[in-house]
């Protein structure tokens, strides 16, 4: 198990969002697969009870994602939220292409965490990995 229930919620939420990001452009490439394996090893997901022996998401995982959507905006500090968003940014860049569809998932995740687009934009401008980008509006 994770160190705390909050860590489990962060893991579930992060894995969920990254899955959405790498699937957003309908093209899962080797860079994205490597990113998933590195950041979310099957052993970690299995230990948390988030995948079964066939690597399928469990009910525990789906429950944790739902709980995370309610808990994380209030329980995470602003720096912790930005740290999660950095993970999501890294996922968008795993295939060496900052696709608009992936960026839309990043913006949506920021809003789910309670981070405004303007705050995300400032944070991304300070990132070493991304220059100035045009973020899509949240839907």
The pTM of this model reads: 0.87
Domain that holds residue 98: 5-126
- Report if residue 98 sits inside a domain: yes
Residue-wise pLDDT for 28-79, tens only, equals: 889 999 999 999 999 999 999 999 999 999 999 999 999 999 999 999 999 9
- CB atoms inside a 10 Å sphere around CB 33: 13
* Residue among 132, 35, 127 nearest 83 (CA): 127
Q: Which residue has the higher pLDDT, 115 or 128?
A: 115
- Three-state SS for 99? coil
Residue-wise pLDDT for 69-106, tens only, equals: 999 999 999 999 999 999 999 999 898 887 889 989 99
Task: Report the CATH number at residue 122.
Answer: 1.10.3680.10
- Report if residue 134 sits inside a domain: no
- Report if residue 136 sits inside a domain: no
Q: Structural domain tally of the chain?
A: 1
- Report if residue 139 sits inside a domain: no
- Report if residue 138 sits inside a domain: no
- Report if residue 74 sits inside a domain: yes
What is the pLDDT, as a whole number, of residue 79?
95
Strands (E) in 30-91, as ranges, are: none
């Amino acid at each position: 198990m994770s160190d705390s229930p909050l860590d489990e919620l962060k893991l579930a939420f992060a894995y969920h969002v990254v899955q959405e990001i790498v699937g957003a452009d309908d093209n899962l490439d080797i860079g994205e697969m490597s990113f998933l394996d590195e950041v979310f090893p099957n052993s970690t997901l299995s230990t948390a009870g988030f995948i079964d022996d066939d690597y399928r998401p469990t009910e525990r995982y789906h429950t944790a994602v739902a709980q995370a959507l309610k808990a994380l905006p209030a329980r995470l500090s602003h720096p912790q939220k930005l740290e999660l968003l950095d993970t999501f940014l890294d996922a968008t860049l795993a295939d060496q292409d900052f696709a608009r569809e992936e960026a839309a998932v990043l913006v949506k995740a920021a809003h789910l965490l309670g981070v405004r687009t303007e705050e995300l934009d400032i944070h991304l401008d300070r990132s070493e990995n991304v220059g100035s980008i045009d973020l899509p509006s949240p839907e």
